[in-house]
Chains A and B, each alone.
Chain A
Amino acid sequence: MNMFKSMAIGVAGLAMATVATVGVANAWEPTKPVDFIIMAGKGGGADKMARLMQSIVEKENLANRPLVPTNKSGGSGAEALIAAKKAADPDHTIMVTLNSFFTTPLRQPGIDVDIMSFAPVGRMAEDTFLLWVHKDSGLKTFEDFLAKAKADGNKWVMGGTGKNSEDNIITDFLNNNYGLDIKYIPYKGGGAVAKDVAGKQVNSSVNNPSEALGFYESGDMVPLVAFTDERLPMFPDVPTLKEKGADFSYFMQRAVVGAPGMSDEALAYYTDLFTKVYNSADWQKYKSSKSLMGDFMAGQALRDYWTTQRNRHESILRASGAIK
């Protein structure tokens, strides 16, 4: 129990049994607080999810030592990758990753990180992307969008998170596949992008649902197309790009990895821990309310997924000229 907890509970008059209910089946258990690196800054999608996972672990008392989140957003995730690679104690170092896990080692070969050396703890979800415009634009369908963006040329502006990021990759695909000349403006975070679409500062975005939901509910932002394989349960009327004839879908991985050099026993422990988190009611509720896809995946299956994703990103980045 930590000090503030004790104080708070004392005053609030809440009686709570502090029985440790973990550690029945596991041979290995952490002996000190676990370093929980977040590969992004505070407030982004990855950060929110990491803090939710941490909260679930605390609430359900799943681990005997706390997870201590540390944001390392420097160099588009390079800082986090290096910190994990150099971790003094790999058994107590885990990291929440996104797609920069694939792109950053390609874009910055100098950091010399092999992503296959990381321990595959578990993939918690895949985040989805939709194309958003402001309701006042009058655009109702993806075809409307194509016509308008084509007519506007480079006066049509897309806001997105970072250069050569997920948002940029999707924008590049739209430009190349439909002969558009959309101008892409990088922002620091997805929330700021959504706000600028709602405030009509930019014309469109490819926000994750969780970032745009507030403005979707208020009716300011309208989704036109989903970059998924099947229609999203939350947006049943929004067609996928595949229905529109393009063989393209794109997801953001939300996975937990262990530092390179993590022992098999520790890996088994964390996989078990995050399986419990994944199966918790809170995680499932979050997953459905934010329109996340993807089942839990760990071990060799997750490694194979990484191989596919890395190769795919390599060819995408090469095609757009972001790497040689």
Chain B
Amino acid sequence: MEILLSLFNGILIALEPINLGLAVIGVVVGLFVGAMPGLGSVNGVAILLPFTFVIQSFTGGATSPMIFLAAIYYGAMYGGAISSITLGIPGASTAVATTFDGRPLAMKGMAHVALVAAALASFIGGTVSNVLFTAFAPLLASVALSFGNPEIFALMLLAFATFVGLGGDDIPKTLFSICFGLVLATVGFDIISGEPRLIFFDITGFSHGIRFLVLAIGVYGIGEMIWTINTSRYGSSMSKVDVSWASMIDAMKRFQEAWRGTLIGSLLGFFVGILPAAGATPGSLMSYGVTKMLSKNPKEYGKGAIDGVAAPEAANNSASTGAMLPMMTLGIPGSPTTAVLLAGMVIWGLQPGPLLFTNQPDFVWPLIGSFYVSNLVAVLVNLAFIPVFLWMLRMPFTILAPLIFVLSLVGTYAAYMDMFDVWLMVFVGVGAFFLRILDYPVAPAVLAIVLGPIAEPKLRQSLLLSDGDFSIFFTRPIAGPITVIAIILILLPLFKVIYDKIKGKPAEA
């Protein structure tokens, strides 16, 4: 009851004209920044951070500045889906999984269905996590504390397990792709030994590692794009898509099919999001994998399943609210964006930590209230803009293609401010094009480069803790069960092959 009262007061403050105005502006800014390939919530938040100082000097307090930045964060999570679906390039790592089914839907002329599903799933994901956040924040903070190195590693293993089925039908090529991504993830600096690793030809550009967006934009923006130009031949535009009220309403009706993915994404995304070091990207990937595993017809995934769009989108919004939790209550950021938000809180004179909820209720509750408000604003703004984004798809191919190439190059530069990354991105893209023709699945490599940099240090930190004894992953109360489930899931396809062999059936092609 006390919580409800605080929340109610918080929402009232969030609805004050200045705060509501800041929320609307933040959402719109976030939506466009998120929709731009290469830029994500982190850019929007980092760039407008100094400006919040100005807001603060007018309103006093840290509430209004934080509402503004949180709204950008929210808007960007919605925006990420837009470029994933319409352009086929994930705008940020959180939206990679959205491309898996969003792009095929767009190619089939159902971009409006995908965009509407993404918006509504995001809204539900955001709302579910807001409720969980409101009700259980202090309790969940202690859950996050109990996740040490072995637990995080076990969780990463589970994330991999849900993706075993993601590759193509060709087992060695899928295996190659996963391992290749994991090896690329080790390029750069090894924090455990303090030594540089795999610096090819001593080029300094490799010392910061092979960044996620270099691979993702290269693969999807350049590789897939050349492949599409090559296969669509003389086709004039990406897809014929119908922009009308009737089609929008039809799209909303079809969203009902996606209840399962939305639900899984909302819950799983939130839980993974609150774990420090994990963040929204593994959350959205795992939700996609789990939804596919539990689906009645997993074969549809990757070819345009609405659930395949709803699950990661519900998850990344849910996770982004979840990621606020360790940031506010433990002072550790789960993602680059929350790192900047954390810097903001410190700059405004707040001390994140376990006492934030008790010491700063005037800050916390209006902020939580603003989550509800921003979420509602974001879904309305997003739905209103969908026809504009659909219009892009109808552009002639010979205009859209160079636009996508330009956005890929500019976006990569904007993300990392390094020309080396831009060259590497184009190089990766051309390579991915060749591998695409030969049926090498590229998605596993893109996923591996997200999970690898989290998994490897956690594995080694755990083994340092246990003097090199692997039993640490099995004997701890939380890590143990997760590890066992992950191993069973990884070996499941193998059992199936053996079972089929014994039964004398031909192995599934």
Query: Judging by beta carbons under 8 Å apart, are B343 and A11 in contact?
Result: no
A117 at the interface (CB under 8 A from B): no
User: Could you list some 21 contacts between A and B, CB below 8 A?
Assistant: A7-B25, A8-B22, A8-B55, A8-B68, A51-B344, A55-B347, A59-B50, A59-B53, A59-B54, A75-B189, A78-B196, A78-B204, A108-B196, A163-B192, A192-B332, A195-B276, A199-B147, A202-B465, A214-B355, A217-B351, A217-B354
Given contacts A42-B339, A58-B54, A199-B145, contact A285 B349 (CB under 8 A): yes
A213 at the interface (CB under 8 A from B): yes
**Which one of B47, B149, B346 has the highest number of Cβ atoms from chain A below 10 Å of its Cβ?**
B346
Query: Judging by beta carbons under 8 Å apart, are B191 and A217 in contact?
Result: no
Query: Judging by beta carbons under 8 Å apart, are B202 and A110 in contact?
Result: yes
Query: Judging by beta carbons under 8 Å apart, are A78 and B207 in contact?
Result: yes
A21 at the interface (CB under 8 A from B): no
Q: Which chain B residues (356-413) contact chain A, with CB distance < 8 Å? A: 356, 359
Given contacts A14-B58, A198-B330, contact A214 B50 (CB under 8 A): no
- What 3 A-B pairs are tightest by C-beta distance, nearest first? A214-B353, A43-B339, A74-B208
B188 CB, nearest partner CB in chain A, Å: 6
**Pick from A8, A70, A217, A322: contact of B355, CB under 8 Å:** A217
B352 at the interface (CB under 8 A from A): yes
Query: Judging by beta carbons under 8 Å apart, are A58 and B51 in contact?
Result: yes
A133 at the interface (CB under 8 A from B): no
Find chain B residues with CB under 8 A from A51 CB: 46, 49-50, 340, 343-344, 347
The interface residues of chain B, by DSSP majority, are classed as helix
**Could you tell me the distance between the alpha carbons of A59 and B52 in the complex, rounded to whole angstroms?**
9
- The total number of A-B Cβ pairs within 8 Å is 185
Query: Judging by beta carbons under 8 Å apart, are A74 and B188 in contact?
Result: yes
Find chain A residues with CB under 8 A from B22 CB: 8, 12
Query: Judging by beta carbons under 8 Å apart, are B349 and A4 in contact?
Result: no
Query: Judging by beta carbons under 8 Å apart, are A157 and B465 in contact?
Result: yes
Find chain A residues with CB under 8 A from B352 CB: 214
Q: Which chain B residues (54-71) contact chain A, with CB distance < 8 Å? A: 54-55, 57-58, 68
Find chain A residues with CB under 8 A from B54 CB: 5, 16, 58-59
A40 CB, nearest partner CB in chain B, Å: 11
**Pick from B42, B51, B145, B331: contact of A191, CB under 8 Å:** B331
**Could you tell me the distance between the alpha carbons of A75 and B22 in the complex, rounded to whole angstroms?**
39
**Pick from B147, B148, B347: contact of A48, CB under 8 Å:** B347
Q: Which chain B residues (180-228) contact chain A, with CB distance < 8 Å? A: 188-189, 191-196, 202, 204, 207-209
Which single residue of chain A is at the shortest CB-CB distance from B208?
A74
> Footprint of B on A, CB under 8 Å?
4-5, 7-8, 11-14, 16, 41-43, 47-48, 51-52, 54-59, 69-70, 72-76, 78-79, 82, 107-108, 110-111, 154, 157, 162-165, 183, 185-189, 191-192, 194-196, 198-199, 201-202, 210-211, 213-215, 217-218, 220, 285-286, 289, 322
**Could you tell me the distance between the alpha carbons of A110 and B18 in the complex, rounded to whole angstroms?**
54
**Could you tell me the distance between the alpha carbons of A193 and B421 in the complex, rounded to whole angstroms?**
30
**Pick from A43, A185, A188: contact of B464, CB under 8 Å:** A185
Query: Judging by beta carbons under 8 Å apart, are B356 and A214 in contact?
Result: yes
**Could you tell me the distance between the alpha carbons of A41 and B191 in the complex, rounded to whole angstroms?**
13
Interface bin, chain B? 35 or more
Find chain B residues with CB under 8 A from A75 CB: 188-189, 196, 204, 207-208
**Could you tell me the distance between the alpha carbons of A186 and B202 in the complex, rounded to whole angstroms?**
25
B431 at the interface (CB under 8 A from A): no
**Pick from B42, B188, B191, B351: contact of A186, CB under 8 Å:** B191
B298 at the interface (CB under 8 A from A): no
Find chain B residues with CB under 8 A from A14 CB: 58
Query: Judging by beta carbons under 8 Å apart, are A162 and B336 in contact?
Result: no
Query: Judging by beta carbons under 8 Å apart, are A164 and B194 in contact?
Result: yes
**Could you tell me the distance between the alpha carbons of A224 and B149 in the complex, rounded to whole angstroms?**
25
Query: Judging by beta carbons under 8 Å apart, are B208 and A72 in contact?
Result: yes
